[in-house]
């Protein structure tokens, strides 16, 4: 991949997506297509993936681990050996069956667990493409190493291979870390990292020691007493007169990472309530139903509607109506587990939804009752809350689950509103 200009940074990227589930492929294509205008090829089996790779050059191979034909670790190993310059990214709903270390040893360079948010996928692809651009730039400048090291705008370190101690550092890195060259030289680089990144760096260096080079995304280095700096790091093994060193090039992505996270989050969120928006709901429920079908896990959908909301708007005005909707967002967030297991959405107007995962018997009804109780405790301007509850059943698709929850919601309204009904 050539280095693109800033106006269309990823337009010449080529991505191959392999998954045997049409809903997953459709979601990935939609998410990536919305994020950047690049070339996307899709296949539904490992054999089709190999055929596509023989015909075209790709920057990223985004693949499921369980598909028809060759798949899993054999596919990863074969692709990584045949196309070492390509970035292989594993996506799987079975992380216990395909541990990060195993897929990395077979040649995968990144890993993402299903289900995942569109923002998570896009952020990872942005980082990967930026890493590839950075690696390309480093390779072009390899013959000018010394001048690049001294004058580069990127931070650079040279480490001894045996103990990862800093042998050399450039002025840019000193400035980024707020330290002098004397303070940095002789330090253990691993100990400069935040504790959560130390093991990841050690594992990746084991892989890079065999391949001679690699890239590590989003390493966080401690800087004085503050929270530290995030870097994308390019690793190159250097043999100089029989001595082996590790050359690290750092690109400070702290500000960029914060901006990307905020932009990705903003695209997924409803500004008024702070809940996920309708677009996120469409993406997430597709992942959720697919995951529930594959793993036989529990999934419930709560459809929520405010009773008499139009009357509230007409009587008290839209400012009060917006205040009430914002309060509903707080009620929902306070009633669910703020983890990957529970997710709240504003689907439009006074319509809301909640997805619940991995719950005990009766859990969805308890959550619904809690929401009604909390809503009743605030100033609701004559409004009340009706909720329809539906649990995923084997064979359901997204439309069937939504209809089941909608039917339960309408049943709650027919009962006089301000009620919870559970789908049969």
What pLDDT sits at residue 5?
44
Position 262 confidence tier, pLDDT thresholds 50, 70, 90? low
Among residues 254, 233, 237, the alpha carbon closest in space to that of 246 is found at 237
pLDDT of 44 reads 93
Nearest to 263 by CA among 96, 72, 150, 123: 123
pLDDT exceeds 80 at position 339: no
Percent of the chain's residues with pLDDT above 90 = 36
- As a whole number, mean pLDDT of residues 312-339 equals 87
Calculate mean pLDDT across residues 221-242: 81
Q: Which fold has domain 141-257?
A: Beta-Lactamase (3.30.450)
Q: Is the pLDDT of residue 272 over 50?
A: yes
The third-level CATH classification (topology) of the domain covering 269-422 is: Alpha-Beta Plaits (3.30.70)
* Each residue's pLDDT tens digit, 280-295: 899 889 999 998 898 8
Q: Which helix (H) or strand (E) holds 351?
A: strand 351-357
Confidence band (pLDDT; 50, 70, 90) for 3? very low
What is the mean pLDDT of the segment spanning 255-284?
Answer: 79
**pLDDT per residue as tens digits for the range 95-137:** 777 787 888 888 888 888 888 888 888 888 888 888 888 777 7
Reported pTM: 0.43
Enumerate the active-site residues: 350
Average pLDDT of span 332-349:
85
* Statement: residue 341 has pLDDT above 60: yes
Look at residue 7 and tell me whether its pLDDT is greater than 50.
no
> What's the mean per-residue pLDDT of the chain?
86
pLDDT given for residue 264 in this prediction: 62
pLDDT higher at 106 or 225: 106
**CATH level 3 topology of 6-132:** Rossmann fold (3.40.50)
Query: What is the per-residue pLDDT for 46?
Result: 92
For residue 2, pLDDT beyond 70: no
Instruction: Name the DSSP class of 53.
Output: H
Confidence of residue 146 (pLDDT cuts 50, 70, 90): low
Per-residue DSSP letter, 254:
H
Q: Which residue stretches of 181-269 are H helix?
A: 181-184, 189-192, 195-211, 254-268
Burial 87-97 (b: 16+ CB within 10 A, else e): bbbbbbbeeee
Most confident of 150-159, 332-341, 403-412: 403-412
User: Which sequence spans correspond to the domains of the chain?
Assistant: 6-132, 141-257, 269-422
Instruction: Identify any residues that bridge with 42 across adjacent strands, giving them in sequence order.
Output: 17
Question: Residue 46 and residue 290: Cα distance in Å, rounded?
Answer: 20
Q: Which residues contact 317 (CB under 8 A, 6 or more apart)?
A: none
């Amino acid at each position: 991949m050539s280095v693109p200009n800033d106006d269309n940074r990823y337009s010449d990227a080529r991505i191959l997506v392999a998954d045997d589930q049409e809903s997953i492929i459709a979601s990935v294509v939609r998410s990536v297509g919305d994020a950047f205008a690049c070339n996307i090829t899709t296949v539904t089996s490992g054999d089709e993936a190999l055929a596509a790779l023989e015909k075209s050059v790709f920057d990223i191979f985004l693949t499921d681990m369980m598909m028809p034909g060759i798949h899993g670790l054999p596919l990863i190993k074969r692709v990584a050996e045949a196309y070492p310059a390509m970035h292989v990214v594993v996506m799987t709903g079975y992380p216990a069956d395909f541990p990060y270390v195993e897929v990395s040893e077979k040649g995968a360079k990144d890993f993402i667990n299903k289900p995942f948010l569109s923002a998570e996928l896009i952020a990872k692809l942005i980082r990967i493409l930026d890493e590839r651009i950075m690696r390309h730039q480093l390779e072009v400048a390899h013959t000018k190493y010394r001048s690049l090291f001294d004058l580069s705008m990127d931070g650079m370190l040279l480490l001894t291979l045996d103990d990862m101690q800093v042998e050399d550092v450039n002025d840019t890195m000193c400035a980024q870390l707020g330290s002098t060259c004397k303070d940095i030289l002789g330090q253990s680089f691993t100990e400069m990292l935040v504790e959560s990144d130390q093991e990841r760096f050690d594992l990746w260096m084991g892989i890079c020691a065999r391949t001679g080079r690699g890239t590590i995304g989003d390493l966080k280095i401690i800087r004085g007493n503050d929270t530290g700096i995030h870097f994308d790091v390019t690793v190159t093994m250097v043999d100089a007169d029989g001595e082996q060193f590790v050359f690290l090039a750092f690109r400070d992505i702290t500000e960029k990472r914060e901006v990307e996270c905020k932009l990705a989050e903003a695209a997924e969120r409803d500004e008024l309530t702070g809940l996920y928006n309708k677009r996120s709901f469409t993406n997430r429920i597709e992942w959720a139903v697919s995951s529930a079908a594959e793993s036989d896990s529990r999934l419930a959908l709560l459809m929520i509607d405010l009773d008499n909301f139009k009357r509230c708007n007409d009587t008290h005005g839209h400012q009060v109506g917006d205040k009430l909707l914002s309060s509903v967002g707080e009620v929902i967030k306070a009633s669910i587990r703020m983890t990957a297991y529970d997710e709240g959405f504003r689907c439009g107007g006074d319509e809301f939804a909640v997805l619940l995962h991995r719950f005990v018997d009766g859990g969805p009804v308890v959550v619904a009752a809690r929401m009604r109780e909390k809503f009743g405790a605030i100033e609701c301007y004559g409004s009340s809350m009706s909720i329809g509850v539906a649990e995923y059943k084997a064979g359901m698709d997204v439309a069937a689950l939504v209809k089941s929850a909608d039917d339960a919601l309408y049943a709650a309204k027919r009962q006089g509103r301000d009620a919870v009904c559970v789908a049969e």
